[in-house]
A and B are shown apart, each in its own frame.
Chain A
Amino acid sequence: MKIFQVFFKTLKKRSVSVIIYFMIFLALSVLMSGNGKKQTEAVYKDAKVKVAVLDRDNSVLSKSLYDYLSNTQKIVEIKDDKQSISDELFYQNVEYVLIIKKGFEEGIKTGKYEDIVENVKVPQSISGKLLDSKIDQYLSELSTYMAAGFSAEEAAKNTLKNSEITADVKLYKVQGASEEKSSAYYYYLYIPYVLIGMLMTGVGSILLIFRKKDLDWRIKCSSMPELRKNSILLLACGVFSFVCWAVFVLLSLLLYRTDILTGKGALFILNSLVFLLVAMSLIYMVSFLVKTLNAMNMAANVISLGLSFLGGIFVPLEYMSKSVVQFSKVLPTYWYVVNNEAIDSFVNTTKQYHTILRNFGIELIFAVLFFVIALYLSKSRAIAQHG
């Protein structure tokens, strides 16, 4: 039990640093989960874009494009010079600037369609990308009418009328499956990043004390077997990590109570608990590989960000290329994310149940694997030091 106590004594000494890490990651998880939902909503919901149209052609057709945009989007008037366009974009007064070039109507009439309009937009704007395709669609219809021999006025009128056609969409309520991903989904999506980042900087810095030569050798020359020593130390990490994890779960209860207090909520929590085990053994393993505190901080960043980006936490898996997704399957975060998704769409079928259980199993295998490697490292370093 000596080792167990030393762990917590060190923790007490380092408490200020650990609290700093804890607060930072708490803040990050709240900020990220709040934002995650908004981001994806922008794709699905047809939000109006703040558009400025600079009509340099002033023709019947260019006016029709303007009318289309003013019907469907929010038009903002800005001055037509480079500096003000740049400034308005930077301060987000407009998200999208459409420049209708001189010769626009002439281009459509003569079939020179390429690049007859230009746009400048806020680079991170998803809705801007959607507007691109809407404008392309409108212009291709307009050109079709013109090519068919309609007059400019008629073509403009027809295209505008066409743009009002919408498909009839009915919503079928499936019990249990919500229309969009729940807030709990987003909160728990970012948990692996938060757990790895926080525990690796917090717990990792304490584990490093045990890797110092003097203390390490002192423990090694006692009668305690390697496995027992490592298990006790891991248990101590576990107790502390569990407390940190519990705070995050409580926070999720506080923020998204309606989502969490369901059967699904329990599965989300269970999934994060299983991942906590993975995170702990991973951190335990890494603590053998770095020597200084600063190196530990850097390693924590590389590992937490790397696992998150490649595992589908910050970038959805469906956006990645097939070969990268294949590679991601060797990362524990991939299975966590897949499971998180499965839980969110869980409607109590046996098949889903099996999938979720299987994913839990795979996550646990990672936890065991990391611990076994840690044990090996613990021993092989011993050889290195004596030899």
Chain B
Amino acid sequence: MFLHLLKYKLKSLFREKDLLGWVFAFPLVLGTFFYLAFGNMMNSDEYNFNPVPVAFVSEGNTDATFESVLDSLSKDTKDRIFEVTKTGEGNAKELLKKGRIDGIIYTSPELSVMVSGDGINKTIIKSFLEGYLKNKAIYEQIGSTHPEKLESAVSILSKNISFNKEISFSNTKMNSLSQYFFALIAMTCLYGSFMGSRAVEDIQANLSAIGARRGIAPAHKLKVIFADYLGAVIVNYSSILILFFYLIVILKIDFGTRIPYILATGFLGSVIGVSMGTFTGSISKISASLKGAIMSALSLILSFLSGLMIGNMKDIVEHHAPLLNRINPAALITDCLYSLNMYESFDRFYSDIAIMGVIAALLITGSYLLLRRTRYENIPSLF
């Protein structure tokens, strides 16, 4: 009997092409968009870098060494850093005013830069000048005390040595952009709520015709509810599995090596998502469209707070309202995925899972209490 109910629930879900298409396509499409937008930063070697336009004013005593360094960096090659205009002071200021250049480099009376504000390019000019000044000091010091070793010593400066290695305690390469994908998974989980609410709409006689039909069937209510619930979870979870497959296998985004735990997180996430829907759906007094609005708004704001639009949102929340992160299901899901990557021990992961379990249990109990023993004297809204 139960299997029969489940089978028909799944059949009916899979026949609703419109909703199903979005449930499966939505995470994949967004995942692709994220990948396109961040792909560049994730494999950060290829950086869309345009040379920084600067003016060089060399009135008075010029620093020939500096000029040659600047020239070599502005040669028209692949690693070109600057685009230099050599000009007089007045013209340079005019260019700066018009925004054609990002800074004016002066060599006299001392090496300095004039900029019109903050920005990445200004930081680049500033750190270039600082690097030059530092290296100059090093050359002078070594040249005057240990001239014989000057060449071999300064070669270290120009080498790109990685002294400092970033580690995480589970040996996976964490990327700050992973947070966006974690939040996407959380959002996909929460979108299970649409199917959850649909499932309980279909068994409430005052909300849908099919509910009225099923209300008179001699099937045990709990079995009916459970079959519908399970059907929704299965469909939602399969969309999450497809998303995981797409992200990990096809887009090759590093989620770490603890795949079984990640999949378990996804499962509990879809249980919470669907339960959120059944709970909202069980409140039979409000209309279906309002329910849709509530669920959509809720999943959106919860996902926002877990970092869907702004990656470090969860950290900001952690600073200002840490309790919110403990009860927001989307934040808990992202936190599970994050802690699996970040920490060796499972403490954090298990405590998140435990809270998620409690939330799911509360939502399921709530839906059951709202749905049980419903009797309809009449069902005026439908017929």
Within the complex, the shortest CB–CB distance from B51 to chain A, in Å, comes to 13
| Cβ contacts under 8 Å, B315 to chain A | 92, 122, 124
Scoring B residues 297 to 329 as 1 if CB is less than 8 Å from chain A, else 0, what string do you get? 100110010001111110110110000000000
Q: How many Å from the CB of B146 to the closest CB on chain A?
A: 5
- Tell me, yes or no, whether B69 is within 8 Å of chain A by CB: no
The answer to the question of A72 belonging to the interface, with a C-beta cut-off of 8 Å to chain B, is no
- CB atoms of A45 and B118 under 8 A apart: yes
- Interface window among B168-176, B218-226, B262-270, B355-363: B168-176
CB-CB under 8 A from B117, the residues of chain A are 171, 174, 177-180
Across the interface, B289 reaches (CB within 8 A) one of A83, A205, A309, A318, namely A205
A254 to B338, CA, bound (A): 38
CA A28 to CA B167, docked complex, whole Å: 34
Q: Are B316 and A35 in contact (CB under 8 A)?
A: yes
Asked whether B310 lies within 8 Å of A119 as measured between CB atoms, the reply is no
For residue B324, give the distance in angstroms from its CB to the closest CB of chain A: 13
Chain A 123-158, CB within 8 Å of chain B: the 1/0 string? 111000000100111011101110111100000001
Q: Tell me whether A165 and B137 are in contact (CB under 8 A).
A: yes
Within 8 A of A (CB), among B10-42: 16, 18-19, 21-23, 25-26, 29-30, 33-34, 36-41
Check B123 for interface membership: any CB of A closer than 8 A. yes
B300 and A294: CB pair below 8 A? Answer: no
A51 contacts B by Cβ under 8 Å: no
Note all chain B residues with C-beta closer than 8 A to A145: 138, 141-142, 153
Report the bound CA distance from A92 to B152 in whole Å: 42
Interface positions of B from 70 to 96, Cβ below 8 Å from A: 93, 96
Kindly state whether residue A43 has any CB partner on chain B within 8 Å. yes
- Given the known inter-chain contacts A116-B163, A123-B179, please indicate yes or no for A165 contacting B130, CB distance below 8 A: yes
Interface string of A294-322 (1 = CB under 8 A from B): 11011111100110111000110011111
Stretch from B57-65, B106-114, B206-214, B364-372 contacting the other chain: B106-114
Q: How near does chain B come to A274, taking the closest CB pair, in angstroms?
A: 23
* A141 close to B157 (CB less than 8 A): yes
The answer to whether A117 touches B345 (Cβ under 8 A) is no
Is B377 in contact with chain A by the CB < 8 A criterion? no
With a CB–CB cut-off of 8 A, which chain B residues contact A91? 318
Q: Could you tell me if B169 and A297 are in contact, using CB atoms closer than 8 angstroms?
A: no
In this assembly, does A223 line the interface, its C-beta being within 8 Å of a C-beta of chain B?
no
CA distance A83 to B33 in the complex (A): 36
Q: Are A86 and B343 in contact (CB under 8 A)?
A: yes
> A309: nearest residue on chain B (CB-CB)?
B37
* Contact yes or no, A14 B289, CB < 8 A: yes
Chain A residues bordering chain B, tally (CB within 8 A): 105
Q: Are A115 and B165 in contact (CB under 8 A)?
A: yes
Q: Does B252 contact A (CB under 8 A)?
A: no
B256 to chain A: closest CB distance in Å? 13
Task: Annotate A20-54 by CB proximity to B: 1 below 8 A, 0 otherwise.
Answer: 11001001100110011001000111000000000
Closest Cβ of chain B: how far from A128's Cβ, in Å?
Answer: 9
Bound complex: CA A294 to CA B21 (Å): 11
B249 CB within 8 Å of chain A: no
Q: Is A214 an interface residue (CB 8 A)?
A: no
Judge whether B296 is part of the interface by a CB distance below 8 angstroms: yes
Expressed in whole angstroms, the minimum distance between the Cβ of B195 and any Cβ of chain A is 9
Q: Which chain B positions have C-beta within 8 A of A89? A: 342
Chain A residues with Cβ below 8 Å from B21 are 295
Contacts of A86 in B (CB 8 A): 169, 342-345, 348
Task: Please report the C-alpha to C-alpha distance between residue A163 and residue B131 in the assembled complex, in whole angstroms.
Answer: 10
Contacts of B22 in A (CB 8 A): 290, 294-295, 298-299, 302
B135-173 near A? 1/0 per residue, CB < 8 Å: 001100110011001101110110101111111110000
B294 within 8 A of A: yes
Q: Complex Cα distance A143/B111, Å?
A: 26
Query: In the complex, which of the residues A35, A98, A115, A349 contacts B310, with contact meaning CB atoms closer than 8 Å?
Result: A35
Q: Chain B residues near A318: list those with CB within 8 A.
A: 48, 120
**Set A18, A165, A177: member contacting B116, Cβ < 8 A:** A177
Does the CB pair B292–A120 fall under 8 Å?
no
Q: What's the Cα separation between A325 and B236 when bound, in Å?
A: 33
B296 A141 Cβ-Cβ under 8 A: no
A324 touches B36 (CB 8 A): yes
Q: A270 at interface (Cβ–Cβ under 8 A)?
A: no
Please state if B312 and A143 are interface contacts (CB–CB under 8 Å): no
The contact of B134 among A98, A165, A294, by CB within 8 Å, is A165
Known: A114-B163, A135-B164. A17 touches B46 (CB 8 A): no
With A82-B169, A148-B153, A158-B141 as known contacts, state yes or no: A135 contacts B163, CB within 8 Å.
Answer: yes
- With A114-B163, A136-B162 as contacts: A302 and B345 at CB distance below 8 Å: no
Can you report 10 A-B residue pairs in the complex whose CB atoms are below 8 A from each other?
A: A118-B166, A119-B167, A123-B179, A145-B138, A172-B114, A292-B18, A295-B19, A306-B33, A309-B33, A310-B36
- Which 4 pairs of residues, A with B, have the shortest CB-CB distance? A17-B293, A179-B117, A168-B112, A167-B129
Which residues of B are at the interface with A, using a C-beta cutoff of 8 A? 16, 18-19, 21-23, 25-26, 29-30, 33-34, 36-41, 46, 48, 93, 96-99, 104, 110-120, 122-123, 126, 129-131, 133-134, 137-138, 141-142, 145-146, 149-150, 152-154, 156-157, 159, 161-169, 174-176, 178-179, 187, 191, 194, 198, 288-290, 292-297, 300-301, 304, 308-313, 315-316, 318-319, 338-339, 342-345, 347-348
Q: A21-B293, A90-B342 are in contact. List 19 more A-B contacts (CB 8 A).
A: A16-B293, A20-B290, A44-B118, A92-B319, A118-B165, A119-B164, A120-B168, A123-B176, A123-B178, A135-B164, A140-B156, A141-B157, A178-B117, A293-B292, A298-B194, A300-B296, A309-B36, A319-B48, A324-B39
Residues of A within 8 A of B (CB): 14, 16-18, 20-21, 24, 27-28, 31-32, 35-36, 39, 43-45, 82-83, 85-86, 89-92, 98-99, 113-125, 132, 135-137, 139-141, 143-145, 147-150, 158, 162-163, 165-174, 177-180, 193, 197, 201, 205, 290-295, 297-302, 305-306, 308-310, 314-315, 318-322, 324-325, 327, 345, 347, 349
